[in-house]
């Protein structure tokens, strides 16, 4: 009995992950609000703004993640 | 009359494990065929100066079932610089509809540790953005903009430009979901196997510090697989092979089955390489058509080296693969 439940869960898991991967739910959907919950940044590329009633609300020219950009490497926090 | 048949059966195989393995295969297959859907629609190198917005591709983005449009950017610039660059998506009227930032950097230096030294070079320069259309097709223009370009102390640098290698694909799939998919289904398949191996109920469980062991219990019936297991522990004088003689008796004490099997022993050594003990395992599957009282008796020969035997008989057992079974039908 237990093994049947586990196998069913495995099958559902497989279908859910394949479906999520192929449907590109992590992509930015144009003109759609509620973006932040589904977007999964690739290669550290973050959204600069969000949709409000279908128009893009630009966050501005300054990248302000935690008080300014300090770069990477050993110069971090200088 | 009683009939004794030796055969191989798949009737008691628990197919759950194979369903779970099929689930693993689905995820792996999905990952392997994902490149088929990808089409490259742009592949060029651009040069952009800080503060300059460069448009590079106009495309009609249609709603599609599989995949998204992926913009893949690899920046290269002078050593020891930090930059923030922006990927912009504009609509037909030139309004900004998506903006995504990447904070990229290239740094190098020297290191010195315990008398050795060398140089290091690290970077994080790639950006990727996946886009998909909303409900309607839309003509979009893609552009790159550099917001900041500084040296490692945060001072803006003039006169240098950044080279971008930009590729745009259609039908790109987010394969990152497949990794937890494989791990999850793999783990569940493993649990399925363990669950099947532990299936069934104990009917006889006896432990003897002797080579002769036996027990009696009520078991059997239609569609009921019985597994008889004997674990033998012998001392270091034991030969390589022991003989296990198994008798099965019915409710009246009459012998209905008798077999002799050879069991090969595993020798366990301690740290000095001396044999400290040997173990052997015997397993036989049965189906007993009529439910009733059955007795299992085992003698292990030669008996002198045998220290312990453990007899376990379980019923309602399921198997992972097909097994050889002794089918006993008694009127």
How far apart are the C-alpha atoms of A9 and A15, rounded to whole Å? 10
> What's chain B's average pLDDT?
91
Residue B269 tokens read as 């050594």
With a CB cutoff of 8 Å and minimum separation 6, the contacts of B183 are none
Residue B58: CB atoms within 10 Å: 11
Assign B312 to helix, strand or coil. strand
Tens digit of each residue's pLDDT (9 = 90 or more) over B305-324: 999 999 999 999 999 999 99
Could you tell me if B294 and B254 are in contact, meaning their C-beta atoms sit under 8 angstroms apart?
Answer: no
- The answer, yes or no, to whether residue A64 has pLDDT greater than 70, is no
Residue of A49, A73, A76, A78 to mutate, interface with B, max B Cβ within 10 Å: A73
Report for A24-28, B29-33, B47-51, B61-65: range of highest mean pLDDT: B29-33
Confidence of residue A62 (pLDDT cuts 50, 70, 90): low
* Minimum distance, in Å, between the CA of residue A1 and any CA atom of chain B: 9
Side-chain-side CA neighbours of B166 within 13 Å: the count stands at: 24
Tens digit of each residue's pLDDT (9 = 90 or more) over B156-202: 888 888 999 999 999 999 999 999 999 999 999 999 999 999 999 99
With a CB cutoff of 8 Å and minimum separation 6, the contacts of B143 are B53, B54, B55, B56, B87, B88, B89, B90
- Terminal-residue alpha carbon distance, chain B: 6
Domain B200-329 is in which class? mainly beta
Residue of B14, B20, B24, B87 to mutate, interface with A, max A Cβ within 10 Å: B20
Tens digit of each residue's pLDDT (9 = 90 or more) over B260-296: 999 999 999 888 888 888 999 999 999 999 999 999 9
Element spanning B30, H or E: helix B16-33
Please state, for a pLDDT cut of 70, what percent of chain B lies above it.
99
Supply the pLDDT for residue B245.
95
- The answer, yes or no, to whether residue A6 has pLDDT greater than 70, is yes
Could you tell me if B221 and B290 are in contact, meaning their C-beta atoms sit under 8 angstroms apart?
Answer: yes
Residue B232 tokens read as 């033998």
Residue A49 tokens read as 């703004």
Any idea which residue has 């009246």 for tokens? Answer: B252
Whether B39-170 and B200-329 share one fold: the answer is: yes
Task: Kindly report which listed range (A48-57, B13-22, B214-223, B275-284) carries the lowest average pLDDT score.
Answer: A48-57
A39 to chain B: closest CA residue: B130
ipTM of this predicted complex?
Answer: 0.79
Supply the pLDDT for residue B77.
87
Q: Is the pTM of this model over 0.90?
A: no
B89 to chain A: closest CA residue: A30
Q: Is A3 within 8 Å of chain B by CB?
A: yes
Q: Is A69 exposed, middle or buried (0-12, 13-18, 19+ CB in 10 A)?
A: buried
Assign A12 to helix, strand or coil. helix
How far apart are the C-alpha atoms of B251 and B257, rounded to whole Å? 13
Any idea which residue has 């058509």 for tokens? Answer: B289
Instruction: Calculate the alpha carbon distances from B126 to A2, B83, B168, B188 in Å.
Output: 46, 12, 13, 36
Task: Residue A72: name the closest of B294, B82, B159 by CA.
Answer: B82
Any idea which residue has 């792996």 for tokens? Answer: B28
Residue A24 tokens read as 């590109």
- The answer, yes or no, to whether residue A63 has pLDDT greater than 80, is no
Residue B29 tokens read as 């297959």
CA triple B128-B131-B137, angle to 5 deg: 155
- The answer, yes or no, to whether residue B1 has pLDDT greater than 70, is no
Supply the pLDDT for residue A74.
47
Domain boundaries, chain B: 39-170, 200-329
- Which DSSP string do the residues of B180-240 spell out, in sequence order? HHHHHHHHHHHHHHHHHHT-SEEEEEEEESSSEEEEEEEE--TT-EEEEEEEEEE-TT--S
Confidence of residue B331 (pLDDT cuts 50, 70, 90): low
CATH topology of domain B39-170: Jelly Rolls (2.60.120)
Supply the pLDDT for residue A29.
87
- The answer, yes or no, to whether residue A67 has pLDDT greater than 80, is no
- The answer, yes or no, to whether residue A35 has pLDDT greater than 80, is no
Contact residues, chain B, for A75 at CB < 8 Å: 107, 152
Could you tell me if B129 and B71 are in contact, meaning their C-beta atoms sit under 8 angstroms apart?
Answer: yes
Q: Is B174 within 8 Å of chain A by CB?
A: yes
Supply the pLDDT for residue B65.
87
Inter-axis angle of helices B16-33 and A2-22, nearest 10: 10
How far apart are the C-alpha atoms of A69 and A63, rounded to whole Å? 7
Which positions 38-57 of A are in contact with B (Cβ < 8 Å)?
40, 42-49, 55-56
């Amino acid at each position: 009995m237990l093994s049947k439940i586990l196998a069913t869960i495995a099958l559902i898991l497989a279908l859910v992950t394949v479906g999520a991967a192929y449907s590109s739910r992590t992509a930015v959907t144009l003109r759609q609000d509620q973006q932040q919950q589904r977007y999964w940044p690739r290669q550290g590329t973050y959204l600069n703004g969000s949709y409000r009633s279908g128009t893009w609300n630009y966050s501005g020219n300054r990248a302000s993640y935690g008080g300014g950009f300090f770069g990477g490497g050993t110069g971090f926090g200088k | 009359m009683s009939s004794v048949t030796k055969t191989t059966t798949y009737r008691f195989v628990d197919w759950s494990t194979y369903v779970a393995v099929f689930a693993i295969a689905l995820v792996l297959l999905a990952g392997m065929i994902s490149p088929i859907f990808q089409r490259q629609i742009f592949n060029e190198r651009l040069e952009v100066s800080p503060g300059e917005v460069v448009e590079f591709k106009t495309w009609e983005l249609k709603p599609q079932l599989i995949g998204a449009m992926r913009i893949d950017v690899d920046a290269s610039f002078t050593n020891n610089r930090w930059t923030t660059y922006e990927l912009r998506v504009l609509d037909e009227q030139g309004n900004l509809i998506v903006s995504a930032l990447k904070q990229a950097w290239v740094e190098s230096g020297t290191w010195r540790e315990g008398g050795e030294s060398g140089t290091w070079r690290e970077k994080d320069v790639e950006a990727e953005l996946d886009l998909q259309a909303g409900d309607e097709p839309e003509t979009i223009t893609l552009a790159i903009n550099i917001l900041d370009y500084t040296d490692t102390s945060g001072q803006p640098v003039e006169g240098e430009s950044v080279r971008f290698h930009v590729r745009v694909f259609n039908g790109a799939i987010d394969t990152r979901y497949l990794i937890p998919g494989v791990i999850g289904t793999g783990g569940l398949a493993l649990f399925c196997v363990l669950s099947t191996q532990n299936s069934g109920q104990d009917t006889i469980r006896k432990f003897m510090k002797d080579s002769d062991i036996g027990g009696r219990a009520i078991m059997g019936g239609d569609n009921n697989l019985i597994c008889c297991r004997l674990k033998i522990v012998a001392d270091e004088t034991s030969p390589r092979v022991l003989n296990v003689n198994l008798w099965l008796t019915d409710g009246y004490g009459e012998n209905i089955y008798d077999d002799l099997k050879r069991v090969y022993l595993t020798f366990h050594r301690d740290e000095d390489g001396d044999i400290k003990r040997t173990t052997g395992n015997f397993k036989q599957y049965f189906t007993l058509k009529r439910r009733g009282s059955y007795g299992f008796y085992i003698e292990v020969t030669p008996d002198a080296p045998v220290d312990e035997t453990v007899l376990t008989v379980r019923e309602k057992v399921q198997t992972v693969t097909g097994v050889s079974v002794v089918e006993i039908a008694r009127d």
